[in-house]
A and B are shown apart, each in its own frame.
Chain A
Amino acid sequence: DQQVKQNSPSLSVQEGRISILNCDYTNSMFDYFLWYKKYPAEGPTFLISISSIKDKNEDGRFTVFLNKSAKHLSLHIVPSQPGDSAVYFCAASPINSGNTPLVFGKGTRLSVIA
């Protein structure tokens, strides 16, 4: 049973436009959420995170929004650039501790078209 779902396997966006990647979760015990970016033949790299006490976190072109009541988070990339083309994984943690493994979604492949 998937606790973290990324329902769009792929997304194509024009360069300069906004990319919105979505993630839904089912476990109400999750209280910390992360986004990772992965290029082919490389390991995932941490991108941005958000705690459940916030509803928005921004870092440059990347913003994550959290809607706890809907158990939904999204990653916004503005403006999108060709170098953003990668697979994006959403991940969740039940407590703010590394002892509990992250639960990952299956990923969304973003293609930014020049």
Chain B
Amino acid sequence: GAGVSQTPSNKVTEKGKYVELRCDPISGHTALYWYRQSLGQGPEFLIYFQGTGAADDSGLPNDRFFAVRPEGSVSTLKIQRTERGDSAVYLCASSLLSGDGDTQYFGPGTRLTVL
């Protein structure tokens, strides 16, 4: 079956611009996670959705970052007034449930470059 997909695969933007990154989770998965992976680092948690609601957004670095999942499936990560420090690979993952130990399936990521 289809895995987690993310679009675009690459995004180059200029400092100060607005960007949207999209994630299509595996069908039927109720939990969706966003992580950010900077060069040479492990992924870091940003936000978690259970259904349509953001159950934990404690990893969002500041209020320029926002994410939505209006129908409980596709999610969009939105970054306003981008900065060069936002350059990273943004990863999305989904799992059937959201408990401890549930396997998360990751998408290939969106590589964001802010010039």
A binds B: no
Q: Residues of B at under 8 Å CB distance from A?
A: none
Q: Which residues of A contact B (CB under 8 A)?
A: none
